[in-house]
Structure 1
Amino acid sequence: MSMWNAVLCFTMTSPYFQNMAFIKRKGVSLTRCTAPASLLSRRMAADASSSSSVAVKVEEEEATISQQTPSLSTTDNRQDLLQLPIIQPKPEAEDPPLSSHRRRQKQIKVEYDKCGSPAKMELWHPPDWKEQLEHIREMRSSRDAPVDNMGAEKCYDTEAPAKVRRFQILVSLMLSSQTKDQITAAAMQKLRAHGCTAEKLLSTDDDTLGKLIYPVGFWRNKVKFLKMTAAKLANDYGGDIPDSVEGLIRLPGVGPKMAHLAMDIAWDQVSGIGVDTHVYRISNRLGWLKKPTKNPEATRKALQEWLPRDLWSEINWLLVGFGQQVCLPTNPLCSSCLNQHSCPSAHQSSPSKRLKVRSPLAPDPASSLPTKTEPGQEIVVKAEPTSPRRNLKRKMKQ
């Protein structure tokens, strides 16, 4: 091949082949010779002789090299070569195939200082809440508060069918809004004697129903709510009450507090904390909330964030009775409360009353009040002035 390449290069550079035409076909260069054939044959013979001389020189150089080094053609040398260990180059470790995402972006290993395990987010709890709850249980151990004897759990007819009992529980909860338990219990007693079912209330006129529930708070509005709720329950639930908070809240006059209490008492399902005015007031006084709340619904959500679920049913009964007996709305009995040393509001809402000192010269206000001697007759007794100066002026005039 080397000789042919030499001939080809010579033909390309020789002046004898200047008139050759080149033809390209599919990227391969083909030559077409136009020089005389005699000149071409002579040139090829000269090139052959020169290449043969070059080959003879190469053979002589190989012979001299073989004399200087031991021959590899002997059997002994071949055996020695076979005994030599064959060292093969170790293949380079190939990286595992990378995904398309790893090809585009190299992964960076991030190392963190070992400063300890990360701290877990602890759930907020008010301080001393367990001790305060135990104190409230101790103060409520007698169970003699109005809610214990006249609450919604005591106002329904225990011998009535199940759906009638559930309806009466809902009615008692609707009547208890902004009403004392004593008045609610009296109204429920009259309704049960009249017939406290959804069908019976629908057939009762508004005036009669108003007289039965009077004097509960907002009794006129509650008459309308009772009639509307009874109609919805009779048409949609067969006289029973819904078994979900969402269904109860859709009823006219039923709020979240009544819905959660109805689920607990009527259906025996704890769906949330029933927060009334007592639970709202006491939770804020004890500091059981992260921030003071302004309404019962916000109080319910704040309490449910940290208070264990197994206490949701008990907390309403405990705090309502505690608010009726000790932690009163006005002038709470902080001095007799077991939580007075841990409550942040202790002795702040119950200031000591100061007796008004009346001057001995001032007239007695009770003496100027009308006194009744007989029915229909009133005699007003005017007190005589006790000031010595006025007595002296009267004496001087006489």
Structure 2
Amino acid sequence: MGTPRDSREAQVEAVLDRLYDEYPDSTISLNFSNRLELLVAVVLSAQCTDERVNSVTEELFAKYRTAEDYADADEEQLAEDIYGITFHNNKAGYLQSMGETLVEEHDGEVPDTMSELTALSGVGRKTANVVLQHGHDVVEGIVVDTHVRRLSRRLGLTEEDTPEKVERDLMDVVPESDWQQFTHLLISHGRAVCDARNPSCDECVLEDLCPSSKLDHDVDLASGEAWG
């Protein structure tokens, strides 16, 4: 049986208070200067570190400045231009197809609705949420990446596994005004302390709130769940 909603809401309030204090400047770590660059960067960031993406997009954005540039690109050359990115061949196809759709259906502009964004190649709900939040100042949900999923499960805020179901659980207990920052705070904490394989529970400001703490429990780190 899961934790009652009122208990999870109280836990979320405490988690937010502590993480806001711990990471006051937490924000998106991808580099971009416009909506198209943001969209491309987030597509490239799937299963790839933001640091790697930023190292590649510096030259990429200088070469490909418009949706038309991606639409007209040679796919093999585009794949070469993003070499070093995870699944660069597949993502080159996504970028070219995405460029074509933006040109043909959106006058080369990045759309501002969830349905239009998720209709683009390589764009799922997570990517669309990031683009809406940081490109259009529209918050429709909570971005669930690998850090948010892992920490939410370890904290007992959800028992779900898929990003969509995790997001629904989080939207039910996280205040809407904190939806955007909740993601950044958990990502910052996941990178700094709550590592996937070896979390530093003895250094964690959430340790006493976390049912998966190694200090009090034996923890299944593969699933992020506590035993007993």
TM-score between the two structures when normalised by the length of structure 2: 0.87
RMSD value over aligned CA atoms?
1.9
**8 A Cα contact 1:175 1:184, kept in partner:** yes
**Residue type of the alignment partner of 1:129:** V
**8 A Cα contact 1:280 1:299, kept in partner:** yes
- 1:111-130 Cα shifts (integer Å, max 9, x gaps): xxxxxxxxxxx963415332
Listed as ranges, the gaps of 5+ residues in structure 2 are 222-228
Residue aligning to 1:287: 156
Residue aligning to 2:140: 271
Pairwise mapping of residues 51-90 of structure 1 onto structure 2 (< 5 A)? none
Give the whole-Å Cα distance in 2 for the aligned partners of 1:322 and 1:199: 38
Larger RCO, structure (CA 8 Å, separation 6 or more): 2
SS at match of 1:134: helix
**8 A Cα contact 1:167 1:239, kept in partner:** no
Residue aligning to 2:23: 140
- CA drift of 1:166 comes to 1.1
- CA drift of 1:139 comes to 2.3
Residue aligning to 2:198: 331
SS at match of 2:208: coil
**Residue type of the alignment partner of 1:124:** D
Give the whole-Å Cα distance in 2 for the aligned partners of 1:349 and 1:331: 11
Mean CA deviation greater in 236-245 or 131-140: 131-140
Identical-residue share of aligned pairs (%):
29
Give the whole-Å Cα distance in 2 for the aligned partners of 1:232 and 1:267: 19
- 1:251-292 Cα shifts (integer Å, max 9, x gaps): 111000011111111110111111111111100111112xx1
Greater percentage in helix: 2
Residue aligning to 2:165: 298
Pairwise mapping of residues 319-358 of structure 1 onto structure 2 (< 5 A)? 319-347=186-214, 348-349=218-219
Kindly tell me the number of residue pairs found equivalent between the two proteins.
214
Question: For the pair shown, which has the larger CA radius of gyration, 1 or 2?
Answer: 1
Give the whole-Å Cα distance in 2 for the aligned partners of 1:296 and 1:183: 23
SS at match of 1:331: coil
**8 A Cα contact 2:213 2:219, kept in partner:** yes
Residue aligning to 2:73: 204
Mean CA deviation greater in 195-204 or 123-132: 123-132
1:156 matched to 2:18? The reply is: no
Give the whole-Å Cα distance in 2 for the aligned partners of 1:196 and 1:187: 14
**Residue type of the alignment partner of 1:324:** R
Listed as ranges, the gaps of 5+ residues in structure 1 are 1-121, 158-164, 352-398
- 1:97-155 Cα shifts (integer Å, max 9, x gaps): xxxxxxxxxxxxxxxxxxxxxxxxx9634153322222222222365xxx65x32xxx2
